[in-house]
Amino acid sequence: MATYVLVHGAWHHGDLMREVGDQIAAEGHVVHTPTVAGNRPGDRPDTGLDEAIASIVRYLHDEALSDVILVGHSYAGMIITGVADRVDAGVIRRLVYWNAFVPEDGEALNDLVPDYFTAMFDDMARSDGTVMMPFPIWREALTNDMTYEASLDAYEKLVPQPYRTFTDKISLTRPPAAFDIPKSYLNFTDDTGMPPSHPWHPRLSQKLGLFRLVQGPGSHEICFSNPSYAAQKIVRAGRD
């Protein structure tokens, strides 16, 4: 059996990965669902990308984890890429990008989205340095396979996101395609979080070089709408 570390996306926290994690654990695996720095209660609203990445590096070290399958959802593609570039050999068995951003050195998350997304987030940035997901986008683009009531219930569990985690540019010693770690891209095909002009796959997945592709129906927030199916696909993406 394997050890999975599920890293949540923007506006989320580790508890929101727990239902998917429990489904994976039910198959006999060990599952961790840490919360990234910036998304924890009491964290500074000006937390940057480097600190967010460092928090997961530190978590793996503090928990003495090795040979892990490191899964990153959405924004967490930025996180797991940075982690893979910083940890020692043997800590990560496989990277799984779950409808996730794949950066190269010097790229920010905002460089990987349409210009109008960046303009929207710039306008919405709060005085404390955070940004919140607008419910209409959450409802129509990210939870399009859920009822209105279920979408609203999930939305109310979200937290403000430090905007620097979107604007800071990542520092990498090599591109993800050069990592000596097996990689998978998990693409849920009903995900309209990115418009057709900026698809998750193959636009971002191809930056991984050699990778395993796993696909299935589901929205960006399948962790809420169908956690058992999400878990099934994660295990398929993470298998040896």
DSSP helix/strand/coil, 5:
strand
d(CA 83, CA 87): 6
What is the arithmetic mean of pLDDT over 99-125? 97
What is the arithmetic mean of pLDDT over 68-90? 98
Token pair in block for residue 198:
């900026």
What is the arithmetic mean of pLDDT over 94-98? 99
pLDDT of residue 110: 98
As assigned by CATH, the class of the 3-238 domain is alpha beta
pLDDT of residue 47: 98
Residue with tokens 């910083």: 86
- Under the banding of pLDDT at 50, 70 and 90, the label for residue 101 is very high
What is the arithmetic mean of pLDDT over 210-237? 98
What is the arithmetic mean of pLDDT over 32-53? 97
Cβ contact 198:114 at 8 Å: yes
| Nearest Cα to Cα of residue 63 among 19, 94, 112, 30 | 30
pLDDT of residue 75: 98
What is the arithmetic mean of pLDDT over 91-117? 98
Separation of CA 194 from chain center: 14
| Nearest Cα to Cα of residue 1 among 72, 77, 68 | 68
- Under the banding of pLDDT at 50, 70 and 90, the label for residue 191 is very high
156-182 tens-digit pLDDT: 999 999 999 999 999 999 999 999 999
| Side-chain half-sphere CA neighbours of 153 within 13 A | 7
- Under the banding of pLDDT at 50, 70 and 90, the label for residue 28 is very high
- Determine how β-strand 161-162 pairs with β-strand 130-131: antiparallel
Which residues make Cβ contacts (< 8 Å) with residue 53, sequence separation at least 6?
Answer: 78, 79, 82, 83, 86, 170
What is the arithmetic mean of pLDDT over 129-143? 97
| Nearest Cα to Cα of residue 76 among 139, 1, 159, 13 | 13
| Side-chain half-sphere CA neighbours of 34 within 13 A | 25
DSSP 111: G
pLDDT of residue 172: 98
Residue 230 — left, alpha, or beta (φ > 0 → left; ψ -120 to 50 → alpha)? alpha
Give me the chain's average pLDDT, please.
Answer: 98
Token pair in block for residue 109:
């998350």
